[in-house]
């Protein structure tokens, strides 16, 4: 069976889909995109490794202090970005909820018998 070639943009989009939806598994993302589970898992691993989020040390060659600091800085930046995104999403949801409450009160008062 021939191996399919996917563009770097497609791979990045697949990784972003997996990273932004913590409730989705590799299998679900793969099914949505029409690719294999192993491909998605490999792309996510490669992306994390490139970002420094995957420890590069092993039992024979432990991670150096400088590598650990660099990895932790990348992880910290990712966490801060995620926190910022979640706060913005939370603010939007709170605003939508307030609008729905006002609409409910309006329509409840309008339909009084």
State the pTM of this model.
0.47
Mean pLDDT is lowest, of 47-51, 80-84, 105-109, for 47-51
Task: Round the CA-based radius of gyration of the chain to a whole number and report it.
Answer: 22
**Cβ atoms 47, 8 nearer than 8 A:** no
Question: What are the residues whose beta carbons fall under 8 Å from the beta carbon of 52, sequence distance 6 or more?
Answer: 70, 71, 73, 74, 75
Res. 54 pLDDT band, cuts 50 70 90? low
pLDDT in tens, 57-95: 555 667 788 888 888 888 888 899 999 999 999 999 999
């Amino acid at each position: 069976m021939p191996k399919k070639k996917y563009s770097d943009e497609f791979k990045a989009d697949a990784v972003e889909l997996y990273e932004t939806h913590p409730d989705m598994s590799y299998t679900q993302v793969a099914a949505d995109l029409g690719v294999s589970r192993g491909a998605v898992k490999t792309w996510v691993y490669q992306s994390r490794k490139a970002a420094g989020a995957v420890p590069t040390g092993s039992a024979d060659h432990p991670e150096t202090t400088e590598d650990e600091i660099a990895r932790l800085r990348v992880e910290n930046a990712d966490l801060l970005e995620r926190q910022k995104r979640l706060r913005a999403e939370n603010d939007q949801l709170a605003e939508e909820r307030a609008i729905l409450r006002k609409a409910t009160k309006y329509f409840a008062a309008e339909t009084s018998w």
